């Protein structure tokens, strides 16, 4: 999904006059498309790029797009070392690590299945917030939502676990890797809520660039990961689209939308992005998921509905 999947610190509905007209719905539709498409783009880019190189390229390209906006809008970089410590933590936990885990897992599982796993972020945030964010206690309703979401995750990973271990295949490890990316996103949302109040666009640009530099610095230490000569055009275009559109431009639209329509309106992406990922995988890659995957998606989305009936778990990016 996109590199920054969290409400800007301090953003809250009602602080300004919010609008939810045709323009805002168009922005929401664009954001859903951009956040639901990375899984297909990752599948295509993996045909030529190893997961770490793909992650580094995505972050550097997306961060470069945001850096151009920062320069154009003449925003200043913070000089406080605590801000840069926060940037570093978000770069690793909220971007570099989950992007790598998702790309690594998608070598073995369909893109639509990876998109369904991302829906589990919201229920996990509910549990983490109960322990780490003051005033966000687990209520019976939120607990019920979490249990529904957990049942969906177990349905996605559990039934094939014993068979996968017995057969010695990598499908289970791939699913656990994507689930690990989901957990990273959830932890990143909690970090963002507890972090300093900083300019969101500047924060995102710094975080993406730091994550990209870190991944690029690790590339020489991984033997056998050199890029092949004469890279084919489709994976290169997929990587460019992943960085420019689904990571960089998506963050710009995200910040504009949360300022115009509010975080509650933006939380609709929780319900729309996973189905979009499934549809995109089916139409563009010819993927066919088992019925169990759709039942799991229904359980996870149902858990989000139950949990958010009286509160928000936070909007999700890939």
CA distance 201 to 63: 10
- Estimate the crossing angle of helix 81-91 against helix 200-218, to 10 degrees: 60
Note the pLDDT of residue 299: 86
Note the pLDDT of residue 54: 95
Show me where the domains of the chain are located.
Answer: 37-219+234-308
pLDDT tens digits for 72-86? 988 988 888 889 999
Residues 211-224 have a mean pLDDT of 85
User: Which parts of the chain fold into alpha helices (H)?
Assistant: 22-36, 38-45, 51-72, 81-91, 97-105, 111-118, 121-132, 140-157, 161-167, 171-194, 200-218, 233-241, 250-261, 263-266, 269-285, 291-308
Note the pLDDT of residue 24: 87
Asked if residues 6 and 258 have their Cβ atoms less than 8 Å apart, the reply is no
pLDDT tens digits for 26-49? 998 999 999 999 999 999 999 989
Q: Higher-confidence residue: 233 or 239?
A: 239
CA distance 249 to 187: 23
Closest CA to 285 of 68, 39, 49: 39
Question: pTM (2 decimals)?
Answer: 0.83
pLDDT band at 7 (very low <50, low <70, confident <90, very high): very low
Closest CA to 89 of 244, 252, 198: 198
pLDDT band at 170 (very low <50, low <70, confident <90, very high): low
Instruction: Quote the mean pLDDT of the chain.
Output: 82
CA distance 215 to 50: 12
CA distance 253 to 257: 6
pLDDT above 50 for 15: no
Residues 103-108 have a mean pLDDT of 92
pLDDT above 60 for 228: no
- Is the Cα dihedral 112, 184, 151, 317 positive or negative? negative
Note the pLDDT of residue 189: 85
């Amino acid at each position: 999904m996109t590199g920054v999947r969290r409400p800007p610190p301090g953003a809250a509905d009602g602080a300004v006059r919010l609008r939810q007209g045709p323009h805002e719905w168009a922005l929401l539709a664009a954001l859903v498309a951009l956040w639901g498409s990375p899984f297909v783009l990752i599948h295509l880019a993996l045909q030529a790029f190893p997961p770490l190189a793909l992650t580094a390229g995505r972050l550097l390209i997306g961060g470069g797009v945001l850096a151009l906006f920062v320069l154009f809008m003449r925003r200043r970089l913070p000089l406080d070392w605590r801000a840069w410590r926060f940037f570093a933590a978000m770069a690793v936990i909220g971007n570099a690590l989950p992007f790598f885990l998702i790309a690594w897992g998608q070598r073995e599982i369909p893109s639509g299945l990876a998109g369904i796993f991302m829906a589990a972020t919201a229920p996990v945030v509910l549990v983490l917030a109960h322990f780490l964010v003051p005033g966000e206690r687990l209520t019976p309703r939120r607990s019920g939502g979490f249990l529904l979401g957990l049942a969906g995750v177990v349905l996605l990973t559990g039934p094939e676990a014993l068979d996968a271990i017995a057969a010695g295949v990598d499908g289970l490890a791939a699913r656990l890797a994507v689930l690990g990316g989901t957990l990273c996103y959830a932890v990143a949302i909690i970090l963002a809520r507890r972090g300093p109040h900083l300019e969101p666009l500047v924060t995102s640009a710094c975080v993406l660039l730091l994550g990209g530099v870190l991944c690029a610095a690790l590339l020489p230490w991984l033997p056998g990961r050199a890029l092949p000569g004469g890279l084919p055009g489709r994976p290169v275009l997929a990587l460019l689209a992943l960085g420019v559109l689904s990571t960089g431009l998506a963050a710009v639209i995200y910040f504009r939308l949360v300022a115009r329509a509010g975080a509650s309106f933006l939380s609709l992406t929780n319900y729309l992005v996973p189905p979009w990922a499934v549809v995109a995988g089916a139409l563009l890659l010819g993927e066919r998921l088992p019925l169990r995957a759709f039942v799991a998606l229904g359980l996870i989305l149902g858990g989000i509905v139950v949990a958010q009936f009286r509160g928000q778990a936070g909007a999700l990016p890939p």
